[in-house]
C-alpha cells in the first residue's frame, strides 16, 4: 500500500480527499455557490470513497459533475432508488460511478460516493447550489458554509440507516487530512459597507470606485473548528423589489421551468403596537443533553452552553407579561417539566421556576426531543392563550423529518421559535420546525449571545397578530401569477418576506409593468405595501430564481424519504427532476463507461474523516478508545454501521464536568460576578424590586443608606428600589439592552401604576443619589 504523507485515517489508511475549494457569488441577498471536492488515489488498489458532509437546509443543489483525469461527466438527477441501482450496477461492472444524495432522515446531511477510483487517478467533483441569505437583526446578510457535522442522536424506534451511521473516522482538528479554500465575490447596486467573518480573511478587495462589488478570501489554514460565516453589510437600507427571470430556453411554456418566474422581496413596515394585557401560553423546551455541558464555541473563556441557557431562561421568565401562562421542560434521553401543566404567571410560580432554573444541569443523556414535544402538544390548551413554543437545542438529532412532521401536524394551534446552539446545529431541524409552525429560527455560534436572540424572539411572540395577509397581483391582460411559495399567515416586524410566483400567459411589450401588493390587518387597521416592477424577464444561465422557487415549493411538501405523504411524493419527484433541484427522493448519478478497460478485483473502502466538535479529547476517546466504530476490512464495500456516539456521553461529561471548572453554584452566587443577571433575578413578577441585601450588593451600598435616601416618606421602599434598579440597568447594561428591555418596560409600567405623579421626584432623587447621567426620559411610558 502506498501511503500519502500525513493523509491517513485513524486506521492509518490513506485519505483520497485532498482538498475542498469553494467559490461564492453573492448578488444582493442571493448566493450562488460552487464547491469542488478534489480526490486522488495514491494507493495501488482501486478505491470506493464515501464522504458525509453538512449543507444548509435552504440550499438548492442543482448541478453535480465529475472531472475525471480531464474528462467532464455531468450527472443526471433521478429517482433515488433508480440512481442507487444504477450506481451499484456500474460499480459491479467495473465502471467509474459517482453518486450524490440527501440523507433519508435529515435535509442538511449529504453523502458523496466515488466508485472505482483507479490507482493514480484524480477526480474533481463539483456541486453547485443557490440559496437565499437570511437577514440579521442589525441589517447584515448572513452566508454560512457548514463545516461542522457533529454526531447525532437516534430517536427511539428510528432505524439506523442514515448517512451518519456509516463508520466515519474522527480525527483531531489539527490532523484533518484535507484543506478548505473559499473565495467570495459580493455585488450590490446599493454599495457594500463592510464584510465581516468569524474566520480569518484576507484583505477585502473592492472592485470599482463606488464599492458596488468586492472580493474576499478565507485565509489559509482553516481547521474546520467552526462553520465559515460571512456577514455582508450594504450601504443602504434594504428596499422592496421584484426580479423576473426568463424560463429555460427550448422548454415548452406551461411548466415551471418553461415559464418566467418572479421573486418578490418585501420589508413590511409594520408599526409597533402595544400587545394585549394577557399574551398567551409560553412553553420553553430546553436541551439538557450531555453536549450542553460543553462551551458555546472553541474560543477561549467561552461560556458553557448550559450556563448560557440558564441565564436565557431567567431573562425570559422575568420578561413574561403578567397574566400569561408558562412552563419549562428539560429534555435529553428523558424529559422533566417544572409543572405538570402550564401555570399562571405569578410571583409564586416565577420564584418556583427560578429555583429550578438555577439547579439545571446538562445531565439527561441524549437528545430525545420528539417525546417531550408530543407531551406538550397533548397537554390541555389554555382558553384565550395561544401556545408559543420556544425550543433550544444543539440540534444533534438524526431523524429531523420526524420531528418536523410532528411540529407541522400541530402547526395551526401554536407558533414555534427555535434556536440552534453551538457549531454544527442541524439547520434542517432548527429551520424546519420554525417554518412549519410560523415562527422564526436563530443560530447562536462563536461570541453570539443566546440571551439576545431569545429575547428578540420573545418580542416577536408578543406582537399583536397580523391578520388577513394576502398578495394581490396587478398584471396586464393575458398574464397571471401562480404562487409557488406557501401562503403567508404570519409577518413579524423588521423581517424580510420573500415569495415566488410562476408567470403564465403572454408576456407584454417591453414597456409594460406589473404591480404586486402585500395587504394585512393589524388591530383592525389595514395596511398595504406595493411594489411596481418592469415585465422584462432577464436571462440567467443558472436559472437562479427558478431553482429557489422550486426549493421553496419542495420545502412545503418534502418530509423526507420515509415520511412524505404519498399524495405529495409525486409532486416532489416531478418538481425535483423537472427543475434539477435535489430532494430526499432524488439523487445525482454520473457514470463513466469510457475507461480503457473495466476495473478488476475488489474495491478498497475509504470513509473520509470529518471534524466533530465537543472537545477534541472527548471525541478522540469516543471514536478511538471506546470501540464504537470497528475497523472495516479492505475490499469490503458494505456500509457498516456504528453506534451513534450521541447515545451516551461519559467522556464528554468527564471532560466538561463542572468539577473540572471553576463553578460557584451556590444559591446566592449562581452566576458568579455577573451583577446584571443577579439584579434581574431579583425582580418580582409584577416588574418591581424589593429593597433587600441582594439589591444593595449589586448597587454596592448598604440597605440602611439606601433607605435613608428615600425622598418621599409616603412612597414605599419597593418604588424607590425599582427606580434605582432601572437606573442601574441603563448605566451598566446598555451593551445588552435588548436582553432586558421587556422586563424594564414592565418595571416602568409598575412604577407609574403605583407611584403616580411622584415618579419624577423619585427619578430625580435617584439620579442624584447614584450620581447617574441616565436620561430621566427612560421612565416615560
**Mean pLDDT to the nearest integer, 39-55:** 87
Specify the range with the lowest mean pLDDT, choosing from 64-68, 172-176, 710-714, 742-746.
172-176
pLDDT category at 172 given cuts 50, 70, 90 is low
Closest CA to 37 of 50, 24, 56: 50
Q: Residue 573 and residue 579: Cα distance in Å, rounded? A: 10
What's the pLDDT tens digit per position in 752-765?
A: 999 988 999 999 99
Helix axes 717-732, 737-755, angle to 10 degrees: 160
What's the pLDDT tens digit per position in 463-522?
A: 877 878 889 999 999 999 999 988 777 788 778 889 999 999 998 877 899 999 999 888
Instruction: Show Cβ contacts of residue 544 under 8 Å, excluding neighbours closer than 6 positions.
Output: 30, 32, 130, 245
**Mean pLDDT to the nearest integer, 111-131:** 92
Percent of the chain scoring above 70 in pLDDT: 84
What's the pLDDT tens digit per position in 186-237?
A: 999 889 999 999 999 999 999 877 899 999 999 988 877 788 999 999 987 6
Residue 557 DSSP SS3 = helix
> Would you give the DSSP letter of residue 601?
S
pLDDT at 754: 92
DSSP 353-368: HHHHHHT--S-S-S--
What's the pLDDT tens digit per position in 625-662?
A: 322 222 222 233 333 333 333 333 332 232 233 333 33
pLDDT category at 98 given cuts 50, 70, 90 is very high
Q: Residue 170 and residue 646: Cα distance in Å, rounded? A: 14
**Mean pLDDT to the nearest integer, 304-323:** 93
By the 8 A CB rule, do 467 and 446 touch? no
Specify the range with the lowest mean pLDDT, choosing from 25-39, 40-54, 166-180, 347-361.
166-180
What's the pLDDT tens digit per position in 568-623?
A: 999 999 999 999 999 999 999 999 877 656 666 667 777 776 665 544 333 333 32
By the 8 A CB rule, do 436 and 555 touch? no
Residues in the chain: 781
pLDDT at 397 over 50: yes
pLDDT at 153: 59
pLDDT at 274 over 80: no
pLDDT at 133: 95
pLDDT category at 161 given cuts 50, 70, 90 is low
pLDDT category at 156 given cuts 50, 70, 90 is low
pLDDT category at 781 given cuts 50, 70, 90 is confident
Q: Which residues pair with 117 in a beta bridge?
A: 47
The stretches of 46-122 forming alpha helices (DSSP H) are 80-92
CA angle 250, 253, 255 (to 5 degrees): 105
Grid cell listed for 574: 416531478
DSSP 187-227: E-TT-EEEEEESS-B---EEESSS-SEEEEEBPS---SSS-
Per mean pLDDT, which of 122-136, 176-190, 266-280, 620-634 is the most reliable? 122-136
CA angle 733, 736, 737 (to 5 degrees): 80
Q: Which residues pair with 73 in a beta bridge?
A: 66
pLDDT at 8: 37
Percent of the chain scoring above 90 in pLDDT: 59
pLDDT at 661: 33
Grid cell listed for 586: 432524488
Residue 16 DSSP SS3 = coil
pLDDT at 248 over 70: yes
Q: Provide the pairing of β-strand 205-207 with 213-217.
A: antiparallel
**Mean pLDDT to the nearest integer, 741-751:** 95
Task: Provide the strand spans (E) within 267-323.
Answer: 281-287
Instruction: Show Cβ contacts of residue 600 under 8 Å, excluding neighbours closer than 6 positions.
Output: 94
pLDDT at 414: 93
Q: Residue 326 and residue 518: Cα distance in Å, rounded? A: 34
By the 8 A CB rule, do 242 and 465 touch? no
pLDDT at 627: 28
pTM of the predicted model, to two decimals?
A: 0.86
Backbone Cα Rg of the chain: 28
Q: Residue 129 and residue 158: Cα distance in Å, rounded? A: 30
Helix (H), strand (E) at residue 708:
helix 703-708
Q: Which residue shows C-alpha cell 415566488?
A: 500
CB-CB neighbours of 489 under 10 Å: 14
pLDDT category at 356 given cuts 50, 70, 90 is very high
Q: Residue 520 and residue 270: Cα distance in Å, rounded? A: 9
By the 8 A CB rule, do 343 and 768 touch? no
CB-CB neighbours of 502 under 10 Å: 22
Summary mean pLDDT of the chain:
84
Exposed, middle or buried: residue 432 (CB in 10 Å: 0-12, 13-18, 19+)?
Answer: buried
Grid cell listed for 174: 489539527
Grid cell listed for 104: 433519508
pLDDT at 613: 52
Amino acid at each position: 500500500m502506498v501511503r500519502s504523507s500525513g493523509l491517513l485515517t485513524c486506521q492509518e489508511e490513506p485519505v483520497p480527499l485532498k482538498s475542498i475549494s469553494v467559490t461564492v457569488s453573492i448578488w444582493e441577498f442571493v448566493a450562488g455557490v460552487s464547491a469542488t471536492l478534489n480526490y486522488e488515489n495514491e494507493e495501488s488498489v482501486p478505491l470506493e470513497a464515501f464522504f458525509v458532509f453538512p449543507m444548509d437546509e435552504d440550499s438548492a443543489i442543482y448541478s453535480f459533475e465529475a472531472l475525471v483525469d480531464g474528462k467532464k461527466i455531468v450527472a443526471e438527477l433521478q429517482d433515488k432508488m433508480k440512481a442507487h441501482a444504477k450506481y451499484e450496477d456500474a460499480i459491479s461492472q467495473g465502471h467509474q460511478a459517482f453518486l450524490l444524495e440527501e440523507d433519508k432522515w435529515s435535509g442538511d446531511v449529504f453523502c458523496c460516493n466515488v466508485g472505482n477510483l483507479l490507482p493514480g487517478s484524480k477526480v474533481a467533483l463539483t456541486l453547485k447550489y443557490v440559496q437565499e441569505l437570511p437577514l440579521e437583526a442589525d441589517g447584515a446578510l448572513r452566508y454560512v458554509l457548514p463545516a461542522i457535522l457533529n454526531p447525532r442522536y437516534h430517536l427511539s424506534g428510528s432505524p439506523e440507516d442514515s448517512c451518519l451511521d456509516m463508520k466515519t473516522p474522527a480525527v483531531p482538528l489539527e490532523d484533518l487530512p484535507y484543506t478548505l479554500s473559499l473565495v467570495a465575490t459580493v455585488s450590490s447596486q446599493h454599495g457594500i459597507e463592510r464584510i465581516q467573518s468569524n474566520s480569518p480573511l484576507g484583505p477585502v478587495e473592492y472592485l470599482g470606485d463606488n464599492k458596488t462589488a468586492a472580493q474576499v478570501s478565507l485565509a489559509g489554514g482553516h481547521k474546520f473548528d467552526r462553520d465559515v460565516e460571512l456577514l455582508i453589510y450594504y450601504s443602504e437600507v434594504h428596499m422592496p423589489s421584484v426580479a423576473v427571470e426568463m424560463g429555460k430556453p427550448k422548454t415548452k411554456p406551461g411548466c415551471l421551468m418553461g415559464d418566467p418566474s418572479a421573486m418578490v422581496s418585501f420589508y413590511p413596515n409594520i408599526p409597533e403596537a402595544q400587545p394585549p394585557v394577557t399574551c398567551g401560553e409560553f412553553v420553553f423546551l430546553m436541551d439538557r443533553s450531555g453536549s450542553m455541558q460543553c462551551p458555546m464555541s472553541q474560543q477561549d473563556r467561552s461560556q458553557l452552553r448550559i450556563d448560557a441557557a440558564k441565564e436565557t431562561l431567567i431573562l425570559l421568565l422575568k420578561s413574561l407579561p403578567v397574566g400569561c401562562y408558562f412552563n419549562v421542560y428539560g429534555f435529553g434521553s428523558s424529559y422533566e417539566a417544572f409543572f405538570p401543566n402550564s401555570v399562571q404567571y405569578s410571583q409564586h410560580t416565577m420564584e418556583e421556576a427560578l429555583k429550578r432554573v438555577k439547579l439545571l444541569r446538562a445531565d439527561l443523556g441524549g437528545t430525545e426531543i420528539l417525546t417531550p414535544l408530543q407531551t406538550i402538544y397533548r397537554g390541555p390548551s389554555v382558553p384565550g392563550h395561544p401556545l408559543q413554543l420556544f425550543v433550544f437545542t444543539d440540534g444533534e438529532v438524526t431523524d429531523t423529518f420526524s420531528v418536523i412532521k410532528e411540529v407541522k401536524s400541530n402547526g395551526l394551534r401554536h407558533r414555534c421559535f427555535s434556536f440552534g446552539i453551538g457549531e454544527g446545529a442541524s439547520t434542517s431541524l432548527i429551520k424546519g420546525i420554525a417554518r412549519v409552525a410560523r415562527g422564526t429560527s436563530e443560530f447562536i455560534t462563536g461570541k453570539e449571545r443566546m440571551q439576545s436572540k431569545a429575547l428578540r424572539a420573545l418580542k416577536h411572540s408578543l406582537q399583536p397578530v397580523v391578520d388577513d395577509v394576502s398578495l394581490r397581483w396587478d398584471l396586464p391582460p393575458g398574464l397571471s401569477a401562480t404562487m409557488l411559495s406557501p401562503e403567508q399567515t404570519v409577518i413579524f416586524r423588521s423581517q424580510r418576506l420573500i415569495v415566488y410566483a410562476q408567470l403564465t400567459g403572454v408576456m407584454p411589450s417591453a414597456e409594460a409593468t406589473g404591480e404586486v401588493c402585500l395587504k394585512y390587518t393589524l388591530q383592525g387597521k389595514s395596511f398595504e405595501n406595493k411594489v411596481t416592477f418592469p415585465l422584462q424577464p432577464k436571462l440567467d444561465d443558472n436559472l437562479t430564481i427558478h431553482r429557489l422557487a422550486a426549493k421553496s415549493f419542495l420545502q412545503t411538501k418534502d418530509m423526507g424519504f420515509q415520511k412524505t405523504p404519498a399524495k405529495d411524493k409525486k409532486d416532489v419527484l416531478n418538481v425535483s427532476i423537472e427543475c434539477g433541484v435535489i430532494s430526499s427522493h432524488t439523487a445525482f448519478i454520473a457514470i463513466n463507461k469510457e475507461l480503457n478497460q473495466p476495473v478488476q478485483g475488489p474495491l478498497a473502502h475509504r470513509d473520509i474523516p470529518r471534524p466533530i466538535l465537543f472537545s477534541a479529547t472527548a471525541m478522540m476517546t469516543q471514536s478511538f478508545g471506546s470501540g464504537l466504530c470497528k475497523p472495516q476490512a479492505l475490499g469490503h464495500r458494505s456500509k457498516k454501521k456504528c453506534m451513534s456516539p450521541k447515545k451516551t456521553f461519559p467522556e464528554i461529561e468527564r471532560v466538561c464536568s463542572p468539577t473540572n471548572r471553576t463553578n460557584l453554584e451556590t444559591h446566592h452566587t449562581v452566576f458568579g460576578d455577573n451583577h446584571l443577571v443577579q439584579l434581574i433575578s431579583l425582580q418580582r413578577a409584577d416588574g418591581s424590586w424589593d429593597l433587600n441585601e441582594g439589591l444593595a450588593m449589586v448597587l454596592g451600598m448598604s440597605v440602611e443608606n439606601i433607605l435613608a435616601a428615600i425622598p418621599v416618606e409616603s412612597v414605599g421602599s419597593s418604588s424607590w428600589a425599582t427606580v434605582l434598579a432601572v437606573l442601574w440597568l441603563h448605566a451598566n447594561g446598555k451593551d445588552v439592552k435588548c436582553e432586558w428591555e421587556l422586563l424594564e418596560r414592565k418595571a416602568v409600567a409598575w412604577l407609574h401604576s403605583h407611584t403616580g405623579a411622584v415618579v419624577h421626584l423619585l427619578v430625580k432623587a435617584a439620579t442624584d443619589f447614584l450620581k447617574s447621567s441616565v436620561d430621566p426620559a427612560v421612565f416615560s411610558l
